Amino acid sequence: MNSKIASQDYLDYLLKGNRKNANQICNAYLNNSGTIKDLYELVMKPALYEVGNLWEQNKISVASEHLATAITEGILNTYYPYIIPEKYNGKKVVLACVNKEEHQVGIKMAADIFEMNHWESHFLGSGFPTSELIKYIKETQPNLIAISLSVYFNYIAFMQMIIDLKTAYPDIPIIAGGQAISHFADSSFDEWNDITFITDLNQLEDYIIQSK
């Protein structure tokens, strides 16, 4: 199945709130030799980015945007048995959204990619205060921290979150991704050598493989 056609069909069903047909598109893509990573990157991600663009342009309602997100999260959960490895490799990652941000689908996809590569992922999702994130990192002692920024309006909160994390844990590398990352350049963090910007799931997997 052509990924562009599948993504457009998926977008159409998301905007109609049709979970059944959206799910069928995903299953058909996988049954035609598509991988879960490609499903996320080539089918779901472009559709969700377009949903986000339509919402920012006031072309769809908040309810429609939330429904599209809920449908996608529900579909992601059905792939759990195919994602969790039988054995972990000893590495851990803590994943969270920027404080007060509600969009967690992208970071959930990232958590799944880590799991498929035998990392133990601690997916905290959205609405997690930085102060609590810092406490949780102390408890779990991860090898890596992953932060998602989906909405550019949260850029200042994102910057403060990075500062707080690097102050508390200067030796733990951080990766950052999300739809809003494209709005600014890597030079924003030139003073920190161990913050890596991840633009897609293929780049994320390359990063994970190089981290072995």
- How far apart, in whole angstroms, are the C-alpha atoms of residue 158 and residue 164? 10
Angle formed at CA 99 by CA 210 and CA 106, multiple of 5 degrees: 45
Question: Using alpha carbons only, how large is the chain's radius of gyration in Å?
Answer: 17
The DSSP letter of residue 122 is E
pLDDT tens string, the chain, 212 residues long: the values are: 789 999 999 999 999 999 999 999 999 999 997 899 999 999 999 999 999 889 989 999 999 999 999 999 999 999 999 999 999 999 999 999 998 888 899 999 999 999 999 999 999 988 889 999 999 999 999 999 999 998 878 888 998 999 999 999 999 999 999 888 766 655 555 666 678 989 899 999 999 999 87
Continuous H helices in the chain? 3-16, 19-31, 36-38, 45-56, 62-78, 80-83, 105-116, 130-140, 155-168, 201-210
The predicted structure's pLDDT at residue 195? 86
User: Where, residue-wise, is CATH 1.10.1240.10 in the chain?
Assistant: 3-82
CATH 3.40.50.720 fits 86-210, yes or no: no
Residue 183 is predicted with a pLDDT of 64
Question: What is the pTM (predicted TM-score) of this model?
Answer: 0.93
Distance CA 141, CA 99 (A): 20
Q: Where in the chain is the domain with CATH 3.40.50.280?
A: 86-210
Q: Rounded to whole angstroms, how far apart are CA atoms 43 and 140?
A: 33
CATH for 3-82 is 1.10.1240.10
